[in-house]
Amino acid sequence: MGKKSYISFLFLSAIFIFTAYSIGVNQSALQLKQANERLASLEEQLKIQSMNEVENVEQLTPELTEDNNENQEIKQLKEKIRKLKAELSKSSSNKEPEKKVFLTFDDGPSPLTNEILDILKKKEVPATFFTIGNMMEQYPDIVKRTYDSGHMILPHSYSHKYSIYSTFDSFYEDLNKVEEVYKSILGFQAPSIVRFPGGSSNQTSIKYGGKDYMPNISADLRGRGYSYVDWNVISGDASPISKSPDQMLKQVISGSENNKFVVALFHDIAQNKATVKILPDVIDYYKKNGYTFRSFKDVTEIEMKELEKRGIVNKPVVR
């Protein structure tokens, strides 16, 4: 018996008891007859209600079956969606990365910086400037213009002296100093992304801190939550070809061919007129070949992982 039937039964039983009590043993035959008729009517009502309950249950059964069928269909659809997501994820992981280029300029700011910024503005591309603290102090307005123009500024030491590689203390003293200058000019803490003077694999540090210095300092820097950025395309503007724009452009192009993720190194120093001369052609080359221009101002976690995989960011230093 269902819950509703049980309640009805209790209700009718209560009426029955009350009726019997009301009749009393001394009631007349007519009263007794009327009472029996009333009881018979109540029993009939209870029987009808019980039958209705049974019908409701019978009607509910196919509905429940239908619900179960719907639940099965939902489960099957969810399983199909799960498999499709897995396939999409697998397909995405196997997909070739989009072609991207990070233009980076070291050692500024300098009188050359404004010319570089003008070109970047005209070409509508972003860049990243790894700046030196003592140069930032000399040209704070250029620092502000660079950042306000949408480009990224990151620390490249305060002094750019290789003697900072003598001890851990000398390195972090220099780093703290450039971070202080950065904050005093831009008004906020420098991001924890740096570029070592000479790069993470430089050999000059051996003279000061020994052959294990760069492996140790790079690991320690990572342990403090920093990332360090190297490069995989060199413009040659700090080499013997720095006075030959044609050779520099060829070197950039040859280094970028068949390279889908490029971090190109240029130097933002006053005498590098050839850098300014080739920069429009460099940008045009990357645009023509389908590269997206990126900077470390809004670099994504996925991009950082790709740069790590390619040994450009946080490359393990082995001697």
pTM: 0.72
Q: In the listed set 40, 75, 93, which residue is the last one of a domain according to the structure? A: 93
Does residue 316 form part of some domain?
no
d(CA 203, CA 210): 10
pLDDT at residue 83 tops 80: no
> In terms of residue numbers, what domain contains 32?
3-93
Identify whether residues 147 and 12 lie together within a single domain: no
**Which one-letter amino acid corresponds to residue 240?**
P
Identify whether residues 284 and 240 lie together within a single domain: yes
Strand 227-228 with 233-234, pairing: unpaired
Question: What distance, in Å, lies between the first and last C-alpha atoms of the chain?
Answer: 85
Identify whether residues 57 and 133 lie together within a single domain: no
Buried b (16+ CB within 10 A) or exposed e, 211-233: eebbeebbeebeeeebbbbbbbb
d(CA 238, CA 266): 8
How many folded domains does the chain comprise?
Answer: 2
Does residue 314 form part of some domain?
no
The pLDDT tens digits for 157-183 are 999 999 999 999 999 999 999 999 999
d(CA 79, CA 94): 23
How much of the chain exceeds pLDDT 90, in percent? 69
The pLDDT tens digits for 197-218 are 999 999 999 999 999 999 999 9
Identify whether residues 68 and 129 lie together within a single domain: no
Least confident of 22-31, 82-91, 180-189, 243-252: 22-31
Task: Provide the sign of the torsion angle of the four alpha carbons 173, 183, 314, 142, taken in this order.
Answer: negative
Which CATH number belongs to the domain containing residue 302 in this structure? 3.20.20.370
Does residue 256 form part of some domain?
yes
Residue 155 phi/psi, 5-degree rounding, is -70, 140
